């Protein structure tokens, strides 16, 4: 019985990211962003715009088939909460939407 408890704790820890020694905030948040190219380009220069405006660390991941792009956000000392990072990103002029990337499931 003791072994199954340890296994359950380990599986939970792996799912939560503690096996890597990182909290979810340290792993970052993948966000799908749709914006006018003139406001936030879907490339490294767009990420620079995001970082300056939100005060969060950001990394360009890829352009998606829809024309939106995927960016990974991390909190910083200036903006210590991922939700605040996301809210700031959503408020950028020209941003149509910015939503966390999550697995889609059939209903």
Query: What backbone torsions phi and psi does residue 31 show, to the nearest 5 degrees?
Result: -130, 135
Q: Which domain holds residue 88?
A: 23-100
Q: What is the pLDDT of residue 6?
A: 46
Phi-psi region of 106 (alpha: psi -120 to 50; beta: other; left: phi over 0): beta
Q: How distant is the alpha carbon of residue 15 from its chain centre?
A: 17
Tell me which DSSP letter residue 65 carries.
T
Q: What is the pLDDT of residue 7?
A: 46
Tell me, yes or no, whether 67 lies in a domain.
yes
Tell me, yes or no, whether 15 lies in a domain.
no
Tell me, yes or no, whether 39 lies in a domain.
yes
- Residue ranges of the chain with per-residue pLDDT less than 50: 1-2, 4-22, 24
The per-residue pLDDT of the chain, averaged, comes to 80
Q: What is the pLDDT of residue 106?
A: 75
Check: CB of residue 56 under 8 Å from CB of residue 74.
yes
Tell me, yes or no, whether 6 lies in a domain.
no
Tell me, yes or no, whether 3 lies in a domain.
no
Name the domain count of the chain. Answer: 1
Q: What is the pLDDT of residue 71?
A: 95
Q: What is the pLDDT of residue 17?
A: 42
Q: What is the pLDDT of residue 25?
A: 53
Q: What is the pLDDT of residue 104?
A: 67
């Amino acid at each position: 019985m003791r072994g199954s408890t340890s296994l359950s704790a380990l599986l939970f820890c792996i799912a939560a990211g503690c096996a890597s020694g990182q909290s979810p905030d340290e792993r970052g948040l993948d966000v799908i962003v749709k914006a006018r190219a003139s406001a936030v380009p879907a490339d490294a220069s767009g990420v620079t715009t995001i970082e300056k405006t939100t005060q969060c660390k950001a990394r360009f991941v890829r352009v998606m088939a829809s024309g939106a792009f995927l960016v990974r956000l991390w909190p910083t000392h200036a903006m210590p909460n991922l939700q605040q990072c996301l809210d700031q990103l959503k408020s950028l002029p020209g941003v149509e939407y910015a939503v966390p990337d999550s697995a889609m499931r059939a209903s």
